[in-house]
Amino acid sequence: MFKRLYDWTLALAESRHSTLALAGIAFAESSFFPLPPDLILLPMSLARPNKAWFYAAVCTIASVTGGVLGYFIGAALYDSLGQYIIHLYGYGSRLDSLRAFYAHWGWAFILVKGLTPIPFKLVTIVSGLLGYNLPLFVLLAAITRGARFFLVAAAMTHFGDPMRVWLEKHFAWFVVTLLAIIVGGFWTAAHLV
């Protein structure tokens, strides 16, 4: 099963729709989709290491654009969709303390959470809900998401061949580990953040 998933991802990287699929996943992950673009960014960068920097730029732009949608979900749609998502992650009862925290440390929250497996959509929706400065939010989102995706590009550029060999042998472990990190990020967001 994992071998077929790996082969499908590499085939997607070679298709003419690869960049669009990557941008779509990066956009959706920042506002409503649970899976990170790393799932496709890493194999695509391995399949075409000469395009790793381009893929990182696509992910960054799409992720920040999706983050703006998440921001507006929090700002404009809080009473319906935004509130549902906030309660889904367990933040409903902690909104007042979150508001006070954000007033002082919102910039750090955005920068740190954008690099972690904590779902970035929570950062975007909470930023909109709390009325965080939109231009500053966009700047911070571009910095943190860019850092994350360009680190992947740098790793693929410098360690691409050994990583490809390792990934071909251990793709199942990679997927299981990444899924565990995602589940851990959701759990952390719901219980500790």
The pLDDT of 10-16, averaged and rounded, is 74
pLDDT of residue 97: 79
Q: Is 15 exposed, middle or buried (0-12, 13-18, 19+ CB in 10 A)?
A: exposed
The pLDDT of 130-141, averaged and rounded, is 94
90 DSSP assignment:
T
Q: What is the DSSP string of 32-79?
A: T-SS-THHHHHHHHHH-GGGHHHHHHHHHHHHHHHHHHHHHHHHHSII
Q: Convert the pLDDT of each residue in 71-106 to its tens digit.
A: 998 888 877 776 776 677 676 777 777 778 888 889
pLDDT of residue 64: 96
pLDDT of residue 188: 62
pLDDT of residue 141: 96
pLDDT of residue 110: 92
Q: Which of 71, 158, 160 is nearest to 120 (CA)?
A: 71
The full set of domain ranges for the chain reads 2-191
Q: Convert the pLDDT of each residue in 156-189 to its tens digit.
A: 888 777 776 777 777 677 767 766 766 666 666 5
pTM, full prediction: 0.77
Q: What percent of the chain has pLDDT over 90?
A: 25
pLDDT of residue 114: 85
Query: Which of 35-44, 75-84, 149-158 is predicted most confidently?
Result: 149-158
Mean pLDDT taken over the chain: 81
> Of 172 and 23, which is predicted with more confidence?
23
Q: What's the rounded Cα separation, in Å, for the pair 151 and 191?
A: 28
Q: What's the rounded Cα separation, in Å, for the pair 160 and 27?
A: 25
pLDDT of residue 43: 79
pLDDT of residue 23: 93
Q: Is the pLDDT of residue 193 over 70?
A: no
The alpha-helical segments, DSSP class H, found in the chain are 2-14, 18-29, 38-47, 52-76, 83-88, 95-113, 120-129, 134-191
